[in-house]
Amino acid sequence: MRYMGMLKALAISAALVLPVVACAAGKDEKPAASGGSQVTVVGTNYCLGCALKKEHGAAAQCSKYGHRHSLKVEKAVDGSGKELAALRGRTLSYLDNEKSEQLVKGEVFHKERVEVKGRLYEAESVIEVVEIKSP
C-alpha cells in the first residue's frame, strides 16, 4: 500500500514538472510563421497607467515602477490592405522583444503617433512589432 502512495505522488510530481520542462526547452524557438495575422496599425504610443490614473483615478504608480506603454489604435489594416475597423479605439499591448523596446519604454516615442507593422494576436490584444515608423 505504501508503495502505491509513493507511485501516486511521483506521478503527480511528474505531471506538474514535465510541462514546465517542455516549455523551458522550447523557449529559444522562433514563433511559427502562421502565428498571428499581418497588420499595419497607426495610433498613439501612450503610458496606459498614466492615462488610467488621469482619466479614472486608477492607483498607477508609474513614477515608482516605471511607465508601461501601449498602442491606442486609430487605424488598422490587414496584410492585404483591408481596414480592420473593429480595432479602432482599442488598446494593444506590445509583445516584449528587441523591436518593441523603444515603444514599451516610451523613451523615444512617448505620446507620439506611430505606424507599427507586425503580427496581431487579436484574442490577446497583443502586437508583435516588426517595424516602427512615424506616419
- Chain segment 27-79, per-residue pLDDT in tens: 444 444 457 899 999 999 999 999 999 999 999 999 999 999 999 999 999 99
Q: Is 2 helix (H, G, I), strand (E, B) or coil?
A: helix
The whole-number pLDDT of residue 34 equals 52
More confident residue, 112 or 11: 112
For the chain, which residues make up each domain, given as ranges?
37-133
Percent of the chain residues past pLDDT 90, beyond the cut:
66
User: pLDDT per residue over 14-30, tens digit each?
Assistant: 454 444 444 444 444 44
pLDDT, residue 135, reads 81
Q: Does an H or E element contain 130, and which?
A: strand 126-133
Q: What is the pLDDT of residue 24?
A: 44
- How much is the pTM? 0.71
Give the C-alpha separation, 121 to 11, whole Å: 35
* Cross-strand partners of 119: 38, 128
Query: What are the grid coordinates assigned to 4, written together?
Result: 502505491
Does 121 have pLDDT greater than 70? Answer: yes
